[in-house]
């Protein structure tokens, strides 16, 4: 387990709560770490807090496990997210419908069920603004990674298929693709038998000077998911 540097330790309020503010001379708040997209530091902080609590339930346990689940997924650490859920005390799982809902949408993401993930995350009622903010960031991160993966996996894709991967309408996905440099596909590039109303796009040339943050396995899973949608 990695630990965040002492300079990056988030501020905590008295009684174990999470601080919503920080001073220039004081510790960094969780909100600041999220704004800086330092998700690994957030996960390290939550893991350390869990160790300090020693498995005891406190008034902050629900939020703490929620932070761990979401920060693990923001770090694309699926195994860590699974272990977090296994460590949540049975009593807390039973009495917290919010944590149950959070695990359900995380499970959808683990299973690459993007339609389910986006639908559940849109309807999720999380107990604190911090968790709601983290879920919004996770939606954005999934959209970003899927956009990158689509550019690597496809030479042409419909706005409708992209919408399922991005949690958007077809109109919104078309705008998102265009903003990322995708262009309207020529008639010769479109699949045979495609509906006349379908809009297809081709990706921009890959910039191989930039490091990849997606794996071949992710690309294969994404390809299989879209194939399933189009069957």
pLDDT tens profile 4-55? 333 345 554 333 345 433 333 345 699 999 999 999 999 999 999 999 988 8
73 phi and psi, to 5 degrees? -70, -35
Residue with tokens 């990695």: 2
pLDDT tens-digit profile of 128-180? 899 999 999 999 999 999 998 888 888 999 999 999 999 999 999 999 999 99
pLDDT tens-digit profile of 181-218? 999 998 888 888 888 888 999 999 876 565 555 555 55
Q: In whole angstroms, what is the distance from residue 30 CA to residue 8 CA? A: 9
**Model pTM above 0.85:** no
Tell me the three state secondary structure of residue 213: coil
Q: In whole angstroms, what is the distance from residue 208 CA to residue 193 CA? A: 33
Predicted pLDDT at 200: 95
Structure tokens at 170: 């077809």
Q: In whole angstroms, what is the distance from residue 89 CA to residue 206 CA? A: 46
Residue with tokens 């807390």: 92
Q: In whole angstroms, what is the distance from residue 191 CA to residue 204 CA? A: 19
Structure tokens at 94: 């039973």
Q: What is the mean pLDDT of the chain?
A: 82
Domain ranges of the chain: 6-142, 146-230
């Amino acid at each position: 387990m990695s630990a965040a540097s002492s300079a990056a330790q988030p501020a905590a309020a008295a009684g174990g709560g999470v601080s919503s503010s920080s001073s220039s001379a004081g510790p960094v708040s969780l909100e600041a770490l999220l704004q800086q997209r330092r998700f690994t530091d957030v996960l390290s902080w939550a893991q350390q807090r869990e160790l300090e609590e020693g498995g005891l339930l406190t008034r902050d346990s629900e939020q703490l496990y929620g932070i761990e689940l979401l920060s693990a997924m923001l770090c694309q650490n699926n195994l860590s997210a699974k272990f977090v859920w296994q460590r949540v005390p049975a009593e807390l799982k039973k009495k917290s419908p919010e944590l149950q809902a959070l695990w359900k949408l995380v499970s959808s993401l683990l299973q690459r069920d993007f339609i389910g993930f986006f639908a559940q995350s849109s309807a999720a009622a999380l107990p604190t603004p911090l968790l709601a903010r983290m879920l919004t960031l996770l939606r954005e991160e999934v959209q970003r990674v899927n956009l990158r993966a689509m550019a690597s996996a496809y030479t042409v894709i419909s706005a409708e298929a992209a919408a399922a991967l991005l949690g958007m309408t077809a109109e919104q996905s078309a705008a998102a693709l265009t903003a990322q440099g995708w262009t309207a596909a020529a008639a010769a590039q479109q699949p045979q038998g495609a509906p006349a109303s379908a809009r297809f796009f081709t990706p921009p040339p890959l910039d191989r000077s930039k490091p990849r943050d997606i794996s071949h396995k992710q690309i294969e899973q994404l390809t299989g998911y879209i194939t399933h949608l189009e069957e």
